[in-house]
Amino acid sequence: KRQTDFFFFNHTTVWTKLQGLPQANPLELGAFFVLILFVGEFVGISYQGHEENM
């Protein structure tokens, strides 16, 4: 249950931040896109590792 609460808290926090993105300053926009690129790269690396293990 605790892990579910943690996920729900993070999900609502991220959703609130995304709703404010159109009014964000350039620094916040830059940080958001760097974060998206980092997560995308991590997911890509994880997926490649999964394919190699099959």
Model pLDDT for residues 1-54, shown as the tens digit of each residue: 555 565 566 667 777 777 887 888 889 888 888 988 888 887 777 766 655 655
* Predicted confidence (pLDDT) per residue in 35-47, tens digit: 888 888 877 777 6
Amino acid at 30: G
What's the helix, strand, coil split of the chain in %, to 5?
Answer: 90, 0, 10
pTM above 0.75, yes or no: no
| Residue in the block written with tokens 């940080």 | 31
Torsion of CA 41, 45, 48, 49, to 10 degrees: -170
The token duo for 48 is 């490649």
Name the token pair of 10. 């993070």
